[in-house]
Amino acid sequence: MLRSFGRPLALAALFALALAPQVDAAATPEADKVIRRYVDATGGPAAFAAEGSLYTRAKLTGFGFSGSLETWSVRPDKHYARTELGPFKLSEGSDGRTAWRTDPTTGRVVTLTDQDLAESLASTWYELERWAEPDNGGGTITVAGHEKDAKGAYTVLTMVPPGGGTLKPRRYWFSDATGLLARIEAPRDQNQIATDFSDWRRAAGRLRAFVNESGISNMPANRMTSTADSFAVNVRTEGLAFQAPLPEGVSTVRWRGASGALKLPFDYAARHVWLRASVNGAPPADFLFDTGATISVLDSTYAASIGLKGEGFMQAQGAGAAGSASFVTLDSIAVHGPGGTGVSIAHPKLAIMSVAPAFGAYFWHDLAGVLGYDFISRFVVTIDYDHAVLELHDPATYAYAGKEQPLPMVMNGVVPGVTATIDGTYTGVFRMDVGSSSTVDIHGPFATRHGLEDKLVGARDVEGVGFGGHFTTRYGRLGKMAIGPYAWDAPMVSVARAAEGAFASEEFAGNIGNRVLERFRVTLDYDHRRIWLEPGERFASRDALSRSGVLVGRSGDKVIALSVLPGSPAHAAGIRDDDELVSVQGKPAGEWTLSALDAVLEQGEIGSRVKIEVLRDGKKKSKHTVTLREMLP
């Protein structure tokens, strides 16, 4: 069972879409004819060539907010932008070799690496219209076909920047009637960002689109409109932050009774890390600690109970599908350690989502919210699963004192990843997802590319739940799993069958959850992109799916069989979905904790017999004996 939170929409994905038309080039003759017509329609080759730099200012509306955007673009490869939208502020820049952006929720400067860097450099190439230069800017451009809609007919060009590598091409729609650019379709993992251009008027020597409307496929509520109010060419750009600026301002992190290091006991229940956190000085409440969440979250019911109301609106993507979110800026959020120690963050920005109803039954736990990237990335974090202790360190003073060598942390977006290899052959970058109770969840695109579902031994389907909905995964075993120098045999893996959401992602090969991470003492250093894995007590343990085959949940004071796997010991014993468990081993079911019940039903000794009394349809009681066995060979 997966209890994982995926990625809400990153604001930067839309903020980065510039007002100026964007395209790639190195064109076939037919494609070049379309591009030359566009250059002529917008002012001619001389006007295009005379444009060494471009400044644009625009008003933004979207997600229930309003704001502004300023961009500076300098040929051949520099870009800088400042965006404000409601409570969020974002800056970003590129100097042709490096790129950076500020995180919309924390304001911290993030130097881009890996796929993020490649995407940023490519976006600068597109925005500067390098594809429209006489040599097409070194890109590759072909005619993809012809399209029609209610507004007219279009010739569609496929564009790839020079050195595009693994980047997916963008599609540019040019109007057959006017030659002007009507739409850009830019792939973003398994989604697509479409930008429509309208209200073409002459400004700063060329015809320019004053209105852009951008949206993400499958998320119709996530649309943003930018309306330009000024353009200027060949402006001065000295002093602009094309390179990453030095951090500025006072840190919002406050340590209490601890000098840059804090040890926090955590509750490891349902194979999730639970911390107590205080919001705006309210009594501490239970939060999930989730490296897979791109933003910290307050449950909507909990937020209302402490007098908080969100603003704005955004569709958010999770493990199985999509949901909705609003936003709130807190006075503070704090975690408290022993002896009056603690650490707090001032004025954090959080999402408000309805998460508790979907997960309460699975966790047997009140869920006030989720501590995600914007909280976790401010620290060097060590998760000691063996002793149920989480350590937070000040990145400026942290020094690793162990014996292991660091592994590179791969950052595509804001979720930490690590390179791993399956069966000695299939290598990819996997998210390190402390918000997942699973082992290794292989994303559909990676599994399909390598035919991994057909290689699973003892495969069976299991239902999972993530923010946004339920989904089906196929569990089985493969031969070996290796992360750096650490390897073990017969890993239990799943192949996700989610058609959308985080588990359909193409940016990562899959997710590594707590059933793998608990083998180690895990240290994550976001600032320096380093991961330390220290083998722990469970390193050599063999993964087990479930030895009973029944997933139990809690609804009020009732313990329910939420799901019974066909062919499992529980199924063979006659237990069915939605049966109420009255007692287990003679003890009333309501007196068990989830951890204790999991120890009996999930990790109990093979061959042991568990006596369960159930109530079906609220009427008929019956007694069953479940003989535990491995569900996967």
End-to-end CA distance of the chain: 18
Query: Who contacts 288 (Cβ-Cβ below 8 Å, separation ≥6)?
Result: 5, 272, 273, 274, 367, 369, 370, 371, 435
Can you tell me whether residue 378 is helix, strand or coil?
A: coil
Cα(533)–Cα(621) distance, integer angstroms: 49
Structure tokens at 376: 């976790």
**Confidence category of residue 499, pLDDT binned at 50, 70, 90:** low
Least confident of 187-201, 355-369, 546-560: 355-369
Question: Residue 183, by phi and psi: left (phi above 0), alpha (psi -120 to 50) or beta?
Answer: beta
Sign of CA dihedral 114, 119, 124, 125: positive
Q: Give residue 317's pLDDT.
A: 57
Q: CA of 297: how far to CAs of 4, 207, 218, 304, in Å?
A: 13, 44, 22, 13
Q: What is the C-alpha separation between 482 and 428, in angstroms, rounded?
A: 11
Q: Reply yes or no on whether the pLDDT at 516 is more than 70.
A: yes
Name the least confident of 74-78, 458-462, 491-495, 519-523.
458-462
Confidence of residue 163 (pLDDT cuts 50, 70, 90): confident
Cα separation, 300 vs 310, whole angstroms: 9
| Token couple for 35 | 């591009």
Domains and CATH numbers, the chain: 3-233 (2.50.20.10), 275-374 (2.40.70.10), 407-535 (2.40.70.10), 550-627 (2.30.42.10)
pLDDT at 261 over 90: yes
Per-residue pLDDT band for 316 (boundaries 50, 70, 90) equals: low
Give yes or no for residue 613 having a pLDDT over 60. Answer: yes
Tell me: pLDDT of 3 over 50. no
What is the C-alpha to C-alpha distance for residues 440 and 510, in angstroms, rounded to an integer? 7
CB 367 within 8 A of CB 354: no
Pairing of strands 426-432, 492-496: unpaired
pLDDT reported for residue 461: 80
Q: What is the per-residue pLDDT for 12?
A: 39
Sequence-separated (6 or more) residues with CB below 8 Å from residue 399: none
Closest CA to 553 of 264, 331, 346, 359: 359
* Cα distance between residue 598 and residue 559, in whole Å: 13
The pLDDT tens digits for 447-478 are: 999 999 999 998 888 765 544 455 577 889 99
Concatenated DSSP letters of 419-444: EEEETTTEEEEEEE-TT--SSEEE-H
Closest CA to 317 of 629, 631, 9, 627: 9
Task: Give per-residue pLDDT as tens, 113-149.
Answer: 888 899 999 999 999 999 999 999 999 999 999 999 9
pLDDT tens digits, 573-605: 999 999 999 999 999 999 999 889 989 998 889
Query: Cis omega before residue 104 (within 30°)?
Result: no
Q: CA–CA separation, 87 vs 352, rounded Å?
A: 14
Which residues 6+ apart lie within 8 Å of 401 measured at CB?
Answer: none
HEC string for 123-175: HHHHHCCHHHCCCHHHCEEEEEEEEEECCEEEEEEEEECCCCCCCCCEEEEEE
- pTM recorded for the entire structure: 0.86
Residue pLDDT, tens place only, 341-390: 999 999 999 999 988 887 777 888 789 999 999 999 999 999 999 999 99
β-pair partners for 219: 216
Q: What is the 3-state secondary structure (H, E, C) of 5-72?
A: CCCECCHHHHHCCCCCCCCCCCECHHHHHHHHHHHHHCCCHHHHHCCCEEEEEEEEEECCEEEEEEEE
Strands (E), 484-619: 486-489, 492-496, 510-512, 520-525, 530-535, 550-555, 558-564, 580-584, 587-588, 609-616
Strand, coil or helix: 549: coil
What integer best gives the mean pLDDT of the chain?
A: 88
* Nearby residues of 307 by Cβ (< 8 Å), 6 or more positions away: none
